[in-house]
Amino acid sequence: MQAFVIQVPDGELIFAERFFNTKISDRSVEYFQENDIYNWQHTDWQQLSAEDLAQVKFTYINWQRDDIKMFGKTIALPRLTAWYGDAGKSYTYSGITSQPQVWNAGLLYIKKQIEQVTGCAFNSVLLNWYRNGEDHMGWHADDEPELGVNPLIASVNFGETRDFVLRRNDEPRQKIVMPLQHGTLLVMGGALQHYWQHSVPKRKRVKGSRFNLTFRAIVE
Ligand SMILES: O=C(O)CCC(=O)C(=O)O
């Protein structure tokens, strides 16, 4: 496995493109979608209504379709999410407070692999399921107080390649675009979250699912 340290002003990124091999990465994509109703390979998840989705019992991951309030309107978050972690490690993002669900074997396996290389003990993970290129994540920093001052965040990626875009708060037109592919690990550290924002923009040509897991250490 090759990893590159990318020094950016006021932050650090570590990028390991094929951190997880194809077998593990393919199995993860399947694991995240296994359920009691739909064939994961032939389902257009974006087309399922909120009601239909609520009927699906996923075998391993309890995916949520959360609503957020924006400009007084309630809108569905443009992706599915799930929050897993140690008991009591609740987390608030986009105005949503989530209580962690109990770890399962697949998530613990992934966690162990990234803990071995980062030397960091993670106690929670946010999972994002981008059902196709319409699903996205807007500009933000992972700077919630519960993550501590300079959090180390390990981002694991499976499925379709999507662009992960960084911009500096004081120079927003200059961007760094990093395509994150099947099996890639990206670690964000240092003061990055204070000086940079990140996003996952829409990519209409992307037809399939991408799963992103950001492992975090919630401090007391
Ligand atoms: O999907 C990604 O690569 C980014 C996820 C992210 O920004 C987050 O979970 O805060």
Residue nearest to atom 2 of ligand 1 (CA): 212
128 lines ligand 1 (CB under 6 A): yes
Indicate the range of 7-11, 56-60, 197-201 predicted with least confidence.
7-11
Rounded to a whole number of angstroms, the CA Rg of the chain reads 17
What domain range is 20 assigned to?
4-144+158-190+205-214
142 CB neighbour count, 10 Å cutoff: 17
**CATH code, domain with 27:** 2.60.120.590
Q: From ligand 1's centre to the CA of 214, what distance in Å?
A: 7
Residue 179 is assigned to a structural domain of this protein? yes
Condensed to tens digits (0 to 9), the pLDDT of residues 6-43 reads 999 999 999 999 999 999 999 999 999 999 999 999 99
The model carries a pTM of 0.96
Residue 28 is assigned to a structural domain of this protein? yes
184 lines ligand 1 (CB under 6 A): no
The phi, psi pair for 140, rounded to 5°, reads -165, 170
What is the model's pLDDT at position 40?
92
Taking the C-alpha atoms of residue 109 and residue 129, their distance in angstroms, rounded to an integer, is: 19
Taking the C-alpha atoms of residue 194 and residue 29, their distance in angstroms, rounded to an integer, is: 32
